[in-house]
Amino acid sequence: MDAPIERFVGSKKIAIMGASPVGKKFGNTVYKTLKKNGYALFPIHPSADTIENDPAYKNVADIPEKIEAAFICMKPDKSLAVMDNLIAGGIKRIWFQQGADFSESIEKAESVGIEVISGKCILMYAEPVKGLHAFHRWLWKLFGKY
């Protein structure tokens, strides 16, 4: 595991964007898994009061604790719209979930010194890794991609 990933998964307090109040998005799967794995999560959502029965925040500045990491699992155009919020909120690390082209948001984050992880699934790295993600991680290790 490379150093940026180790630092990110070592951040036990994470703002999370992309979970929905109705619970039907992949962001909710990540939310539930990370919470079960012991992470303190702070969902950011523009209109929800709660996500997975936890309080939701409109922006990073509303979170009552200092948060340095954010996980994003949303459409790239929506991620670009929240970058100023993350920058102003003092986020130091952002994980963009694999599967979409976040190049504009990544460029903006890196231009201000935010450490970025992209093109990888967080569920293969945030211990304990179980089930399908553990098998996928084993395959990646086997083929030197991990």
Specify whether the CB–CB gap between 72 and 25 falls below 8 A. Answer: no
Cβ burial of 92 (10 Å; 0-12, 13-18, 19+) is middle
Give the integer Cα–Cα distance in Å for 53 and 69. 21
If you average pLDDT over residues 35-44, what whole number do you get? 94
CATH code of the domain in which 104 resides: 3.40.50.720
| Total of domains in the chain | 1
The answer to whether the pTM exceeds 0.75 is yes
The whole domain housing 79 covers 3-142
pLDDT tens, position by position, 64-75: 999 999 999 988
Give residue 48's pLDDT. Answer: 94
pLDDT tens, position by position, 70-125: 999 988 888 888 899 999 999 999 999 888 889 999 999 999 999 999 989 898 88
